[in-house]
Structure 1
Amino acid sequence: MNTPDHNLNKPAPLNIALVTETYLPEVNGVAITIGRMVQGLRKRQHRIHMIRPRQFKQDVAANEEGYTETLVTGMPIPGYPELKSGLPAKGLLMRLWKLHRPDVVHIATEGPLGWSALSAARKLNIPVSTDFHTNFHSYSQHYGVGLLKKPIAAYLRHFHNKAACTLVPTASLQQQLEFEGYRNVYVVSRGVDAELFHPAKRSAELRASWNADENTPVVMLVSRIAPEKNLHVVIQAFEQMRKINPLARLVMVGDGPARAELEKQHPHVIFAGMLTGEPLAQHYASGDIFLYPSLTETYGNVTVEAMASGLATVAYDYAAARQHMRHDENGLLVPFADTDAFVKLATGLISDMERVKRLRLAARETVEALTWEHIMGEMEAVLLDTVRTQGVQNVQPELSAAAD
């Protein structure tokens, strides 16, 4: 099932309570996607009340036309000290939503704050939609808690099945979750800022700083530098690529707990650190080949950002890569988790730069029409349908099921 049908007439603005445990200026795919969601829904005149953890001591809640915030207490997430998990806040949310009842509650993350929001909304009989953004159960094995994989997966299914619907970015993830017992899963894809991420941002000066001229193959990775991102595959592939062309360069953009050790072990790799906006766009566009070895994505924004920037991308055949790439037409798709195949395809690519040029052009053409404006139309349709459906059904609140 895809997104529900919706009336083409302009709908009345919704009052949307949006609950998330990560938001801008934090740099991760979820925060960036939620930022785009807020921007797109406000552009369509919907009113947003954001509930999120306080990110730092001086953090101040926004209060402007069409957009307000409530900040709650948070605690660092193990393995992600720069991110906060919101503490339970059911009582606060009950008071807030009794005073100013939203039309719909949309929950973007499944932590303690998300559970509180789900519980409060169900008790007040407010429609709820959720996002499935992160494979937390897949991450568990990378942080020494692999035994929790099954309980975490069960909790996530239980959480999302209490909502009216769950939104996912790809059809393949929809099918996977439905197979695992999730109900009412809709596909709302993700866009890309094709003006920001553009081949025209290519910088000869930046390439020169990497000791690369226009003919030097530059391999890019943009990622959190962390165990769950499977980065040893990129290192392995690049070592083979260097045997074919010793002048090749590898540039890693991002930060994380594995960076220090990788820098020590691989001094020839260029680590650019965390980048956003124009500097990030310039780094993407100044590369030639993009290697993305992660096996834990629900989507992978960086895949489409690389394609928009005109890079020949090698990625495993799932998530955004499966959604938007066609093998040897606009990128190279690798069988899931097949490290040998990944290394082989990447190595073959660097020995055929004419093929790289062809893939780069086709990649850019593929994502030019992947606008956030269209995606937000799909998102709006789901929220309107969720509100209408619960209004028609007049579902009674399930007080016992909603208890913390």
Structure 2
Amino acid sequence: MASSPVRVTYVIAHINKALSFEWIASFLDKQKIELSFILLNTVDTELERFLRERGLPVVRVSYRGKSDLFSAIVAVKAQLKRWQSQVVHTHLFDANVVGLLAARFLGIPKRILTRHHSTYHHQYFPRAVYYDRFTNTLATHIVAITQMVKQVLIKQEQVSPSKVRLIHHGFDLAMFMQPQADQVAALRVKYAINDSYPVVGVIARQTELKGIQYIIPAFAELRKKYPKALLVLANAQGDYHAQVQALLQQYLSKDAYKQVPFENDLVSLYQLFDVYVHTPIADHSEAFGQTYVEALASGIPSVFTLSGVAPEFIRHEDNALIVPFMDSEAIYKAIERLLSDPVLCERLRVAGVSVVAEQFTLKRYLCALEQLYCE
């Protein structure tokens, strides 16, 4: 007689849309896992609509901040009890606090958090490290999404290695490898990208850690050689936005760049780029850096610094060009090299697609999650 599926509840904070949760909701083995979702948010979101359309159990708990902490814990606890959840898996800071406390009060035996940040709190919000240590204690298992995150947990926060499980994100790679030509064309029209060449793409929140401040001067130098070059800054929002705007005004004319605050169709967006650039300022700036995988899966010649997951699979002159941290001149030279060497670009493209297809499949990711939930 087959055993009943394990009842797993995700608690997620302040997410509008995330492909990873859509993939988990769509493809996790329903014979093994009975999945439900609690979303800490104040408004309807694309993720909530996605889950409802697919008939998955989903509840929204109003959460604006610390003032809602107690009421949110009570509401989450009641919902977990109603669903008789056997496993609770939390994602992002507020969800870790609320979800793990509620699960602990109920005595739920398996309490998992995925650590989505690296040293961000250590650098910028040291008081938040106390909360990280607290939720590390509440969790019975912690998913480290990269070797870097694993080392931060073990060496800097003294988490027992036996509690930490390394599970890389997985991707529906076919989406990126087989973009729809009509959707790409529609996006090109949407952003009026016509005779611009080359188009240099950046998809990163405008925070200091992402290193956009080093890309802008590099692009300004590139435009001296390519007067019709266009810089596309996507996900153009964040706490470093004002500084980025000042740099754009200092270095570039208005026709030299476009800013995209949010674009749903990332798959097509990558296809608008002739070169992709992602240059975080330190090896620990990224916890993972999904854009490394997405860009290579999309077949876009790329210039990177090594942060987050990148050191685990990016190889210089094999699948991308690597530049030193915080080095505008090196960024410029790498972009210019790609534009002048189509043979190199093709070699990087082929190797890039191959490496991500080997290491970051959705199947591998889902199997690791299922094993964690069912063991």
Alignment map for 1:4-403 (pairs within 5 Å): 12-23=4-15, 26-27=16-17, 31-41=18-28, 43=30, 45-56=32-43, 67-75=56-64, 87-88=69-70, 89-111=72-94, 113-126=95-108, 127-135=110-118, 138=120, 146=124, 149-180=125-156, 181-183=158-160, 184-198=163-177, 201=180, 206=188, 209-212=192-195, 216-257=197-238, 258=241, 261=245, 264=249, 266=252, 267=254, 268-277=256-265, 280-295=266-281, 296-336=285-325, 341-369=330-358, 370-385=360-375
- Asked if structure 2 preserves the Cα contact closer than 8 Å seen for 1:210 and 1:270, the reply is no
CA separation in 2, counterparts of 1:337 and 1:167? 30
Instruction: Give the structure with the higher percent helix.
Output: 2
- Asked if structure 1 preserves the Cα contact closer than 8 Å seen for 2:202 and 2:234, the reply is yes
TM-score when normalising by structure 2: 0.81
1:58–1:371 distance in 2 versus 1, CA, 3 Å: closer
- Asked if structure 2 preserves the Cα contact closer than 8 Å seen for 1:293 and 1:316, the reply is yes
| Aligned-pair CA distance for 1:373 | 2.0
Q: Relative contact order (C-alpha < 8 Å, sep 6+): which is higher?
A: 1
| Aligned-pair CA distance for 1:43 | 4.6
CA separation in 1, counterparts of 2:45 and 2:231? 38
Identity %: 24
CA separation in 2, counterparts of 1:326 and 1:86? 46
- Asked if structure 2 preserves the Cα contact closer than 8 Å seen for 1:199 and 1:308, the reply is no
| Aligned-pair CA distance for 1:53 | 2.2
Gaps of 5+ in 1: 1-9, 78-84, 386-404
1:34–1:337 distance in 2 versus 1, CA, 3 Å: farther
Q: Look up the SS of the partner of 1:116 in the other structure.
A: helix
Q: CA RMSD in A?
A: 3.3
Letter in 2 for 1:372: L
Letter in 1 for 2:105: K
| Aligned-pair CA distance for 1:42 | 5.4
Q: Look up the SS of the partner of 2:176 in the other structure.
A: coil
| Aligned-pair CA distance for 1:291 | 0.4
CA separation in 1, counterparts of 2:264 and 2:236? 12
Deviations, residues 37-75 of structure 1 (Å, cap 9, x unaligned):
333325555222211123426998866887212211122
CA separation in 2, counterparts of 1:327 and 1:182? 33
Deviations, residues 176-197 of structure 1 (Å, cap 9, x unaligned):
3221112321111112222221
Deviations, residues 142-195 of structure 1 (Å, cap 9, x unaligned):
xxxx4xx32222321331232111112222321232211123211111122222
Letter in 1 for 2:159: Y
| Aligned-pair CA distance for 1:228 | 4.1
1:237–1:76 distance in 2 versus 1, CA, 3 Å: farther
| Aligned-pair CA distance for 1:220 | 1.0
| Aligned-pair CA distance for 1:200 | 5.3
Deviations, residues 55-102 of structure 1 (Å, cap 9, x unaligned):
42699886688721221112279xxxxxxx974422223333334321
| Aligned-pair CA distance for 1:379 | 0.9
Q: Look up the SS of the partner of 1:317 in the other structure.
A: coil
CA separation in 1, counterparts of 2:177 and 2:227? 28
1:275–1:57 distance in 2 versus 1, CA, 3 Å: closer
CA separation in 1, counterparts of 2:137 and 2:8? 20
Deviations, residues 291-335 of structure 1 (Å, cap 9, x unaligned):
012343211112211111101122221223223311110012334
Gaps of 5+ in 2: none
TM-score when normalising by structure 1: 0.76
Q: Look up the SS of the partner of 2:64 in the other structure.
A: strand
The total of aligned residue pairs comes to 352
CA separation in 1, counterparts of 2:58 and 2:68? 14
- Asked if structure 2 preserves the Cα contact closer than 8 Å seen for 1:53 and 1:86, the reply is no
Q: Look up the SS of the partner of 2:116 in the other structure.
A: coil
- Asked if structure 1 preserves the Cα contact closer than 8 Å seen for 2:23 and 2:172, the reply is no
1:94–1:217 distance in 2 versus 1, CA, 3 Å: closer
1:293–1:130 distance in 2 versus 1, CA, 3 Å: same
